[in-house]
Amino acid sequence: MIYIDTILTTLINQHYQKLASILPTKDFNVLKSLANSVSGHFFITENQSRLLLKILRENQRSIGEFSEELSEALTEVHWSKEFRQIEQVRKFFITKNEDHEPVLNIEFTFNSEIRKIITNLTKTVENLAMVNNGKNYTAEFTEKNIVALVEDLTPLNFNIDPVIKNHYETIKSWSKGEVESQFLLTNIEHKNFQKAITDDLGIETSIDQNIINDRSMRYQYLTENLKISGENLTQNIANRSKPRYWVDKTQHTMTEIVASLIELKRLPILVVFDTIINNKYLENLKILSKSLEDNGIFDHIGIYFRLPNDVHGKQFNQFIAEKKYNYNLDESTSVACVQSGKLPKFFLKTAWKPMSVIALDSRMGLRHGKTAVYSNYCDLIVEWSDEPPLADIRIKG
């Protein structure tokens, strides 16, 4: 009996140089690699065997002069060992990220078709990201993601964690109408809810529909009035569908944004200067300063970074000194300014927390780094630039 793998090792061991000169480089390299595999302890897989037979048959005329047995071996194929079996991993389970928060984890043995399907899910699954050579993905631990992933991975024969299955069954058992009814603003009577609203706005604050719609995301309640695009910037921000809201700087000034935030009782404000566009630091600082003054804000402003004393940096630092924008961060601070990705440690040690965030000219969007993590606790992040952040463009595409 003639074994294909025996013929392969003989060809490589005895005719290496000649084969290298007559075979296409890609085919020769594959044969050389497979010869090492068949000589090893683990042998080759069935898929590798098909590739080997394909190359031998395509090059049979060239290789045949070095092996009289090749034609017969290819007619009736035999192998000296059993093919190596690859464990097929397809798991969907819960793990923890670097911040020790639960995330959904998808793990599978490389499969181009599965990888293509999961890549397409990035359009519907929140923060679905590859973490390990296309074989491992993570996603946010949310009800929406659980339902979407269970329903898409089940037909692919994934082994799904029983805990995730229980979550899925619970979520699917909910009645949308019943759940929404519990969270209608007019139906919530819990004392802690009323206290939170009072602590936020004050007892004597008049509350209009814009503020009611704006706070629905912060306190997770629903209103009977449908959220629609408004007639002005304040209404549009109040009726946003997610915490991040992009404002086109060619359509609305920073003065308008600050005015809207004041109208929505959204002070104090954290302002984030982008670290990539260095030549706009002074320009944006002057724009911010004018917008604050236009809205009657002259003090309790702190800018908690300085630039190197080059031509632009010196002017930036001098402007801060002239305007006295060096107010210590405490609970009375109205506006705090930092650089993207460079959050001072004292922000984590004070009781001060922003009611809103403004990201200036952030082309990448406020998505990564310490400042982004800190800002994510806020339910209103206004991104002011002349084009939508790249992250939003990718999601829409």
Interval 166-201: pLDDT, tens: 999 999 998 877 777 776 766 666 667 767 777 777
User: Would you tell me the crossing angle of helices 281-294 and 311-323 to the nearest 10 degrees?
Assistant: 20
**63/71 Cα distance (integer angstroms):** 10
**381/48 Cα distance (integer angstroms):** 52
**121/124 Cα distance (integer angstroms):** 5
Alpha helices in the chain, H assignment, sequence order:
4-14, 16-22, 25-39, 46-58, 60-64, 70-75, 112-120, 143-153, 162-173, 176-182, 191-201, 209-219, 233-238, 254-263, 281-294, 311-323, 370-375, 390-396
**330/332 Cα distance (integer angstroms):** 5
Per CATH, domain 242-396 is 2.40.160:
no
The DSSP 8-state label assigned to residue 222 in this structure reads B
The DSSP 8-state label assigned to residue 268 in this structure reads S
Please tell me the class of the 90-173 domain.
Answer: alpha beta
Domain ranges of the chain: 4-75, 90-173, 175-240, 242-396
Checking if the pLDDT of 114 tops 60, the result is: yes
pLDDT at position 229, please?
A: 67
Task: Say whether pTM exceeds 0.75.
Answer: no
User: Would you tell me the crossing angle of helices 46-58 and 4-14 to the nearest 10 degrees?
Assistant: 60
Average pLDDT of the segment spanning 317-326: 95
Average pLDDT of the segment spanning 32-50: 89
**335/267 Cα distance (integer angstroms):** 8
pLDDT at position 31, please?
A: 93
Query: Tokens 């998505």 appear where?
Result: 367
**4/76 Cα distance (integer angstroms):** 10
pLDDT at position 325, please?
A: 96
Is residue 112 within 8 A of residue 142, CB to CB? The reply is: no
